[in-house]
Amino acid sequence: MTNDRPTRAGVLALVAAFLGWLFDGFEMGLFPIIARPALRSLAPEIADDAFVGSWMGIVTALFLLGAAGGGLVFGWLGDRIGRVRAMSASILTYSLFTGLGYFVAEPWQLGALRFVAALGMGGEWSLGVALVMETWPERHRPWLAGAIGAAANVGFLLVALVAKLFPVTVDSWRFMMLVGASPALLVFLIRLFVPESKKWKESVGAARARPVREVFAPALRPRVVVAALLASVALVGTWASVQWIPLWVDQMTGGRDPGAKAVAQMAYGLGAILGSFVGPVIGGRLPRRWTYFGLCAVSFAACAVQFRVLHEYSASFVAMTVVTSAATASFYGWLPLYLPELFPTRVRATGQGVAFNAGRVFAAAGALLGGQLVAAFDGSFPRAAATVTLVYVAGMALAFMAPETRGRALPA
């Protein structure tokens, strides 16, 4: 193999991480599909749209806070014991605790299990990014970043396909929790076949890793803060508004057409897969700052049409969902391209995990705000979402705070 060609280790790392990210996406897409029937099942006497919207915000916030904590804990673990072992532990965590959701009897139990499952999901993202970017040649990084973003959205689409084949109702939603436990099998394959990152081994061999201390030291702290703010814009826009589209569709159809929300989520997944490749491809050719600015501008425009112009479930609504998801998901291809460029190898998993998952903390606050806005707007999801997506305007200003890294190799 030449330096420009992937090694066997790189291919195995990509396959394992792709599957891990795919099931990450399944985890993320699971609750928007089951939320309304699950909450109506768990609290049938009070589950009106305001109640569902409020608990949607609470459970989403708990999930995001768990993911933020997982990014820090498992990112640190990955810098200390290796990418592969830590990634295996993270996948096992989110699989088992999702499966336990089958047994919940009250909304707070569902929220608690989603929190713990998210610890693993948040950790897997940063570990997979670090492992893949460290085992592939530099010139492949733009399309690898696209694959990272697309994989999660393939999982998001997979949730919708399962829900389309097996409609999710107040009587059947628990089945989806068992499906969410299936990634546990992936852990055995990873441990058997995927080798550890050589760059990580060399880095920790040269000096003892103190990832948390170094990430928050003066040299890297400004980069962590900027990266967290950039990630926050993308995550708030997605989690506090766009991911609520299936819920909105369920409300539009009065819950009488369970397949409609599955179609909406399929449209979201297809658009997100496309956007995940577009973001890093553009980012690989243009300055990183201007790419981020453009992604924010397009996302704001698409959300304005989706939530302020369209008011009925129709073919045009589904088509616009594809466009909106492509725009707002493009960040999830751009971020895996950009974040590894900000941190040296010995602390890369921790740095990425802290930055991306700090964004999830802000997104959790946004999700709670979104839930309260739904209640304040008399159960109106589009009015709440239209308000939240003003965050993309802030993102356009933040773009110019980002260090420009285009054309530079990953820090050693």
Check whether 87 has a pLDDT greater than 50. yes
Question: In terms of DSSP H, where are the helices of 136-220?
Answer: 141-165, 174-179, 184-193, 198-206, 211-215
Task: Flag whether 88 is in a domain.
Answer: yes
370 belongs to a structural domain: yes
Could you list the residue range(s) of the whole structural domain that residue 112 is in? 8-401
Q: Is residue 411 part of a domain?
A: no
| Tens of pLDDT, residues 248-300 | 888 888 777 877 888 888 898 889 889 988 888 898 888 999 999 999 999 99
Q: How confident is the model at residue 345 (pLDDT cuts 50, 70, 90)?
A: confident
Is 410 part of any domain? no
User: pLDDT tens across 384-411, in order?
Assistant: 888 989 999 999 999 999 888 887 777 7
Is residue 2 domain-resident? no
Q: Is the pLDDT of residue 376 over 90?
A: no
CATH of the domain at 67: 1.20.1250.20
- Length of the chain as a residue count: 412
Q: What per-residue confidence (pLDDT) applies to 114?
A: 93
Q: What is the pLDDT of residue 93?
A: 92
Angstrom distances, CA of residue 261 to CA of 67, 247, 405: 25, 7, 40
* Cα Rg, the chain, nearest whole Å: 20
Lowest mean pLDDT among 9-18, 32-41, 286-295, 402-411: 402-411
Model confidence band, residue 1 (pLDDT cutoffs 50, 70, 90): very low
User: Residue 412 — pLDDT band, cuts 50, 70, 90?
Assistant: low
Q: How confident is the model at residue 328 (pLDDT cuts 50, 70, 90)?
A: very high
Answer yes or no: is 59 within a domain: yes
- pLDDT for residue 2: 46
Residue 302 lies in a domain: yes
* Distance between CA atoms of residues 372 and 53, nearest Å: 8
pTM tops 0.85, yes or no: no
Domain count, the chain: 1
Q: Is residue 141 part of a domain?
A: yes
Is residue 13 within 8 Å of 194, Cβ to Cβ? yes
